[in-house]
């Protein structure tokens, strides 16, 4: 017994020693991994900061070079505008230098200039018709609000600062807005046009470019991809013509593009609210703080509680890129990236806001259908305006899964479904398919029961009545269960009742 106890004690001691050694190894491995992870995090942060500093140095060099050589036209491939009949303003435009050969050709061939101007004006009918269609027919005011806001902003700039056209500007009465002005005022013949006869127009910024880009982008979002690409390609040729005729400076083209893509975004949001039935209280600031924030442009930056990073990525994926202060100063409380992102959001049409709007609209349309399902998965129902974005996305995801299940069941039943069919339509087809199968099965079962009853009745009649006459041409029997009369023809034969019953 003592020997056994000693062996057991040694075994336990050995096992304890092994466990302690494994724990020590685990601790060392964990410590090594932790040190390696910390080193990796520090290297990632330092690498990010070094790359940013390099990009900043390059950007500052570019800015400094352009600032010190702003009036140097030689580096652009042209001559400086310092005097003379054609160079009175001292303006250096790289777009004018690049399109100088086309400008010379159009100056010598005014017919070509008029033809291109007329073609440009005719193509602008397409954006006009499309804008009227989506606004009045479809009830989408986002495009109209963007166009109106862009033109009002352009008029505001032109009112405060009027920039005269370039002295070499090649005017055409077939261009817009000259063609509209000639409808309400006298315009001299084209061959008698002088510098003083040039009709005034706002040059900063290009309304042609802003309108074309805005409409083309709306077409692309709405699914008219071919029209959108064609309009963007046309816009490229339009820009070349505007620069060649000196109708706009290059800066007018650049700012027109930026206004169409970025600056007019708040107007689109206002048009979206107007399409849904906007209230006056939704537009007017509620107090002086909201009015001030709207004026300085920070109100749109605070409407989101999570940015694109928190929507598309997990927090642990960006843990290696957190600030150095979070690591080297653990005792200092630092605002995390997620908390920081809760106060700021992108001011344009970001994926976060689009996803939230789509989920909200879907939840509003499908609230009654999803009420039972949401209760089953444990999501407490509330007013749509009180739900957070994550809850709305859960609702949309649940509805998508249910639609996939319905389509899978319909596929098992060999039901063909068209794209975009709603849930009630799919359910109606499934019910119709099942109903038809049940009716078919019921008919087959009824026929079998009828045949069995008929055979049983005929056998009983033969045995009870002893039918032996060969002149019998038919038998009539009544089904006990279905009360249907069935005529059964019997061939003339000399066989006995038993053989006749078997034949029947």
Burial class (CB in 10 A: 0-12, 13-18, 19+), 191: exposed
Q: Where do we find the tokens 């330092």?
A: 46
What is the enclosing helix (H) or strand (E) of 91?
none
How far are the Cα atoms of 13, 15, 17, 147, 166 from residue 4, in angstroms, in the given order? Answer: 14, 16, 20, 95, 110
Distance CA 412, CA 461 (A): 48
Q: Is pLDDT above 80 for 319?
A: no
Domain range for 447: 424-503
Mean local confidence (pLDDT), 199-215: 83
The answer to the question of residue 232 being in a domain is yes
The answer to the question of residue 132 being in a domain is yes
Give the domain-ending residue among 275, 294, 313: 275
Q: Is pLDDT above 50 for 483?
A: no
Q: Are residues 59 and 134 in the same domain?
A: no
Distance CA 130, CA 146 (A): 14
pLDDT at 300: 60
Q: Are residues 60 and 128 in the same domain?
A: no
Q: Is pLDDT above 70 for 476?
A: no
Q: Are residues 140 and 257 in the same domain?
A: yes
List the structure tokens of 161: 């600062």
57 versus 3: the higher-pLDDT residue is 57
pLDDT at 270: 76
pLDDT in tens, 413-435: 778 777 767 777 787 888 888 88
301 versus 231: the higher-pLDDT residue is 231
79-88, 335-344, 357-366: least confidently modelled range = 335-344
Between the ranges 173-177, 236-240, 358-362, 451-455, where is the mean pLDDT highest?
A: 236-240
Q: Are residues 143 and 243 in the same domain?
A: yes
243 versus 467: the higher-pLDDT residue is 243
pLDDT at 440: 83
List the structure tokens of 221: 């979002």
Q: Is pLDDT above 70 for 479?
A: no
Q: Are residues 61 and 117 in the same domain?
A: no
Residue 104: other Cβ atoms inside 10 A: 12
244 versus 297: the higher-pLDDT residue is 244
The answer to the question of residue 363 being in a domain is no
pLDDT in tens, 108-141: 888 888 888 888 888 888 889 999 998 888 888 8
Q: Is the dihedral of CA 362, 363, 369, 375 positive or negative?
A: positive
Residue 229: other Cβ atoms inside 10 A: 13
Q: Beta partners for 474? A: 489
Burial class (CB in 10 A: 0-12, 13-18, 19+), 258: middle
Give the domain-ending residue among 237, 255, 275: 275
The answer to the question of residue 75 being in a domain is no
- Which segments of 313-412 does DSSP mark as H helices, in order? 325-328, 337-341, 351-365, 367-376, 389-412
Mean local confidence (pLDDT), 204-228: 89
Q: Is pLDDT above 60 for 349?
A: no
pLDDT at 233: 92
- How big is the chain by its Cα radius of gyration, in Å? 42
Q: Are residues 140 and 262 in the same domain?
A: yes
Number of domains in the chain: 3
The answer to the question of residue 357 being in a domain is no
Give the domain-ending residue among 248, 275, 302: 275
Mean local confidence (pLDDT), 233-243: 91
The maximal CA–CA distance of the chain, rounded, in angstroms, is 134
Q: Which residues contact 299 (CB under 8 A, 6 or more apart)?
A: 290, 293
Q: Which residues contact 460 (CB under 8 A, 6 or more apart)?
A: none
Distance CA 376, CA 362 (A): 19
**Does the predicted model carry a pTM greater than 0.85?**
no
Share of the chain above pLDDT 70, in %: 53
CB 306 within 8 A of CB 392: no
Q: How many CA atoms lie within 13 A of 40 on its CB side?
A: 9
CB 308 within 8 A of CB 352: yes
The answer to the question of residue 82 being in a domain is no
Q: Which residues contact 197 (CB under 8 A, 6 or more apart)?
A: 188
Q: Is pLDDT above 50 for 350?
A: no
How far are the Cα atoms of 272, 311, 323, 344 from residue 354, in angstroms, in the given order? Answer: 12, 12, 30, 16
Q: Are residues 153 and 234 in the same domain?
A: yes
The answer to the question of residue 122 being in a domain is yes
Q: Are residues 53 and 180 in the same domain?
A: no
pLDDT at 326: 44
- Which segments of 133-249 does DSSP mark as H helices, in order? 142-160, 178-181, 207-222, 225-244
Q: Are residues 129 and 262 in the same domain?
A: yes
Q: How confident is the model at residue 236 (pLDDT cuts 50, 70, 90)?
A: very high
What SS3 state is found at 290?
helix
The answer to the question of residue 417 being in a domain is no
Burial class (CB in 10 A: 0-12, 13-18, 19+), 119: middle
Mean local confidence (pLDDT), 467-489: 44
Q: Are residues 118 and 62 in the same domain?
A: no
Q: Are residues 124 and 267 in the same domain?
A: yes
Q: Are residues 163 and 258 in the same domain?
A: yes
CB 253 within 8 A of CB 243: yes
C-alpha 278: how far from its chain's center?
A: 23
């Amino acid at each position: 017994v003592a020997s056994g106890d000693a062996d057991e004690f040694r075994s336990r001691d050995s096992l304890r020693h092994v466990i302690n050694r494994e724990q020590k190894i685990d601790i060392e491995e964990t410590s090594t991994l932790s040190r390696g992870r910390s080193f990796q995090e520090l290297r990632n942060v330092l690498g990010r900061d070094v790359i940013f500093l390099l990009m900043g140095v390059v950007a500052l060099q570019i800015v400094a070079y352009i600032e010190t050589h702003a009036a140097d036209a030689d580096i652009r491939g042209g001559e400086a505008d310092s005097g003379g009949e054609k160079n009175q303003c001292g303006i250096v435009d790289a777009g004018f230098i690049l399109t100088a050969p086309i400008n010379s050709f159009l100056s010598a061939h005014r017919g070509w200039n008029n033809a291109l101007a007329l073609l440009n004006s005719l193509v602008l009918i397409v954006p006009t018709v499309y804008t009227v269609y989506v606004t009045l027919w479809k009830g989408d005011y986002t495009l109209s609000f963007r166009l109106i806001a862009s033109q009002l902003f352009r008029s505001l700039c032109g009112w405060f600062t009027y920039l005269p056209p370039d002295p070499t500007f090649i005017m055409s009465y077939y261009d817009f807005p000259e063609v509209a002005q000639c409808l309400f005022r006298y315009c001299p013949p084209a061959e008698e046009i002088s510098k003083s006869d040039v009709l005034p127009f706002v040059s900063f910024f290009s309304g042609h470019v802003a309108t074309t880009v805005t409409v083309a982008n709306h077409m692309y979002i709405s699914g008219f991809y071919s029209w959108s690409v064609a309009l963007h390609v046309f816009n490229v040729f339009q820009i070349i013509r505007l620069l060649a005729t000196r109708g706009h400076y290059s800066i007018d083209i650049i700012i027109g593009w930026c206004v169409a893509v970025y600056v007019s975004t708040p107007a689109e949001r206002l048009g979206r609210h107007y399409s849904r039935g906007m209230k006056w209280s939704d537009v007017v600031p509620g107090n002086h703080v909201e009015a001030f924030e709207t004026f300085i442009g920070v109100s749109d930056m605070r409407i989101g509680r999570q940015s694109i990073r928190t929507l598309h990525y997990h927090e642990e994926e960006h843990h290696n890129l957190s600030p150095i202060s979070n690591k080297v100063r653990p005792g200092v409380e630092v605002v995390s990236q997620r908390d920081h992102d809760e106060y700021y959001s992108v001011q344009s049409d970001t994926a976060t806001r689009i996803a939230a709007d789509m989920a909200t609209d879907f939840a509003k349309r499908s609230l009654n259908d999803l009420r039972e399902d949401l209760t089953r998965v444990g999501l407490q129902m509330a007013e749509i305006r009180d739900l957070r974005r994550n809850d709305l996305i859960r609702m949309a995801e649940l509805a998508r899964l249910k639609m996939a299940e319905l389509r899978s069941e319909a596929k098992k039943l060999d039901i063909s479904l068209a794209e975009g069919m709603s849930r009630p339509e799919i359910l109606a087809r499934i019910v119709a398919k099942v109903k038809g199968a049940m009716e078919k099965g019921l008919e087959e079962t009824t026929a079998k029961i009828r045949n069995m009853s008929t055979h049983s009745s005929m056998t009983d009649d033969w045995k009870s009545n002893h039918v032996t006459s060969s002149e019998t041409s038919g038998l009539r029997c009544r089904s006990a269960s279905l009360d249907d009369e069935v005529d059964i023809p019997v061939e003339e034969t000399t066989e006995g009742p038993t053989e006749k019953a078997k034949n029947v």
